[in-house]
A and B are shown apart, each in its own frame.
Chain A
Amino acid sequence: MFYRENGQFKTTYRADQQIFPITQDRFAVLAIIAFAFFAVPMLADEYMFRAILIPFLILSLAALGVNILVGYCGQISLGSGAFMAVGAYMAYNTYVRIEGMPLIVALLSGGFFATAVGMFFGIPSLRVKGLYLAVATLAAQFFCDWAFSRIGWFTNNSSSGSVAVSNLQVLGWKIDTPIEKYLFCLGFLVVFGLLAKNLVRSAIGREWMAIRDMDVAAAVIGIRPVYAKLSAFAVSSFIVGVAGGLWAFVHLGSWEPAAFSIDRSFQLLFMVIIGGMGSIMGSFFGAAFIVVLPIFLNQFLPWAGELVGVTISTAAVAHTEFMIFGALIVWFLIAEPHGLAKLWSIAKQKLRIWPFPH
């Protein structure tokens, strides 16, 4: 009744081609962005920011990048953690080694280095695909793990192997409280989210989707696989690299290579699959699910144990958490293989025809 496009006539090409062609969508997105910028800082407390909101923002940015590669271009990658690491360490190096380097430029340069590395490790995608490619991208993961822990130059020869940044500021705006960090990450996410949304409906986005659906057929109708696949690797690793820089600079502050281990790659892929492959919205859903679930289980299990009169030790909680997490993932894949985004679009469709479903 309230959500339908009847009567919204487009009279110009401009109006027809805008990102959110339905007026209600446009307002909803504006409302969500406004809510995130103005209402959330007033409502949330410090724990919320540190444990949930900031990780959610940064990981959904990374999931967005992975989704472009996996969901839109169909190239399964298990090396996303490595691209995050490249973003983080190269941002660190440009930030520390060049005097007076602005923070945002450092983060973006981390993204550019991640692009280069991502394109290099994307070369096998021209020859192999599917699961072979997934294993091939693991090479990036293990190589980067090794490089950042063994080659002293990357860590500025720090003796402990961990590096740290402090005194983050942008044009005189000091970023040190959780609220400021949150706003900083949110800014990045909104900009990249809109860029990505725009990109996937452009000519290049359609090329990616054609490659994903059937690469031989795409090549036959004149799409260059080399160009399409490598550009997907490039765009994806740029976004993932920037997210890695944010994760290291803003969320962690000081970090070591273990922060970007293979578990991170799996986590990002989980977000994409659970959120919904080939959906920008899905990346946010997936990130929210994967960030919140362990925290929830961690709080809920001891409480549930007390309810039935057993005290659960920390180790048991950790193991039970593993079990429930794994079981939920499997259950989720069985119940909704197309991810949360599919539920979202079903809900939208229902709303559209409500209250007369026939």
Chain B
Amino acid sequence: MAFFLEALFGGLMAGMLYSLVALGFVLIFKASGVFNFAQGAMVLFAALAMARFSEWIPGWIGIESRFLANTIAFLLAAVLMYILAWLIERLVLRHLVNQEGVTLLMATLGITYFIDGFGQTIFGSEIYKIDVGMPKEPVFLFEGVFEGGVLINLEDVYAAIIAAFLVAGLSLFFQKTATGRALRAVADDHQAAQSIGIPLNKIWVIVWFVAGITALVAGIIWGSKLGVQFSLTTVALRALPVIILGGLTSVPGAIIGGLIIGVGEKLSEVYLGPLVGGGIEIWFAYVLALVFLLFRPQGLFGEKIIDRV
């Protein structure tokens, strides 16, 4: 039982991180209809910027405080993500309005290559550390209930809490602010939104920027867990089943889908893995999502797809 709980908690924590990456996908897809494969590259780029800035800043302006350096690095990285969002809108999206989905998908793949190369050219391509003071040591819970207790990584708990706050903040932003309402209007209907005076181009920049911020947060959390390295880009591939499970257009779907996938992956790896030789978590999530799609093609919370001739 303790073992099961451990796996379950591990899965939930991992799932929270998946939903963070998935959220970036969903935001962009909702607002601009672009299936953004570059999300993984953005995670790597943001994490690289954060890691290198926090390393360089003490040298540049001569401050010692770790906290201050990290804060400035975070802000600088956020500015960088804004510039990136602006450039993508200006140079790519604007010219590809009304193209087919697959063309846009390929364009984001092109962006992926570009960001990967660019990030590693300016920030270097080794493994870097991000140290934002996340506790590393594991703790034991429920020691009175089970023998030996349940082992939990404090780092994961912190990460999950940060992710939960970000998600809550984003939901508030979408529901309560004028910009958030404009974003939802654009997501519902491009033409109608434009006809009542919402500037599409500006909205796209904002939404790519918000996706960039989620990428930055995801990058910091994953980066402090695993180190900032090229393999961070594969996080995006791990998050894809999450969005088809949750529905491409649904924010709550991304979160609940993330939790389901995280738990499913962990439990399958622990209980099914040994039977077939291990390493199944990478495809199990996809197969889970696939089986699900056969019964509900629009995902858990996606809008119902209606075809008309």
Contacts and interface: CB of A to CB of B under 8 A. Distances in A.
A135 B96 contact: no
Contacts of B277: 150-151
Contacts of B237: 138, 262
Nearest to A334: B95
Contacts of A220: 309
A327 interface: yes
Interface string B273-309: 0001111101100110110011001010000000111
A216 B120 contact: no
Contacts of B282: 142, 145-146
A130 interface: yes
A132 B4 CA distance: 32
A270 interface: yes
B103 interface: yes
A150 B283 contact: no
Interface stretch (A28-36, A226-234, A248-256, A317-325): A317-325
Given A216-B307, A330-B92, A337-B103, A139 B286 contact: yes
Interface in B235-263: 237, 240-241, 243-244, 248
Nearest to B110: A329
Contacts of B107: 329-330, 333-334
A320 B121 contact: yes
A326 interface: yes
Contacts of B111: 326, 330
Contacts of A90: none
Highest count of chain B CB atoms <10 Å: which of A124, A328, A330: A330
Contacts of B293: 124, 127-128, 132, 136
A315 B123 CA distance: 13
Contacts of A323: 113-114, 117-118, 121
A131 B101 contact: yes
A228 B228 CA distance: 46
A134 interface: yes
A61 B269 CA distance: 38
B99 interface: yes
A334 to B, nearest CB: 4
B116 interface: yes
A89 to B, nearest CB: 16
Give the interface size class of chain B.
35 or more
B286 A143 contact: yes
A199 to B, nearest CB: 22
A214 to B, nearest CB: 7
A143 B283 contact: yes
A329 B113 contact: yes
B106 A146 contact: no
Interface in A110-151: 123-124, 127-128, 130-132, 134-136, 138-139, 142-143, 145-146, 149-151
Contacts of B101: 130-131
Interface in A279-326: 315-316, 318-326
Contacts of A76: 102, 105
Contacts of A324: 117
Contacts of A138: 237, 240, 286
A131 B35 contact: yes
A56 B116 CA distance: 26
Nearest to A321: B117
A127 B283 contact: no
A238 to B, nearest CB: 22
A150 B278 contact: yes
B309 A146 contact: no
Nearest to A134: B105
A333 B106 contact: yes
A23 B269 CA distance: 62
A184 interface: no
Interface string A327-341: 111100110010000
Contacts of B105: 76, 131, 134
Contacts of B289: 135-136, 139
Given A320-B121, A334-B92, A146 B279 contact: yes
Contacts of B121: 316, 319-320, 323
B57 interface: no
B283 A70 contact: no
Interface of A: 70, 76, 123-124, 127-128, 130-132, 134-136, 138-139, 142-143, 145-146, 149-151, 214-217, 220, 262, 266, 269-270, 273, 277, 315-316, 318-330, 333-334, 337
Shortest Cβ-Cβ A-B pairs, 10 listed: A322-B117, A326-B113, A326-B114, A329-B110, A323-B117, A139-B286, A142-B283, A330-B110, A334-B95, A319-B117
24 contacts: A76-B105, A128-B293, A130-B101, A131-B105, A139-B289, A142-B283, A143-B287, A150-B278, A214-B309, A215-B307, A216-B307, A262-B237, A266-B109, A270-B109, A319-B116, A319-B121, A322-B113, A322-B120, A323-B118, A326-B111, A328-B110, A329-B107, A334-B107, A337-B96
Given A323-B117, A326-B109, A333-B96, 6 more contacts: A131-B35, A134-B102, A135-B286, A139-B287, A273-B102, A333-B99
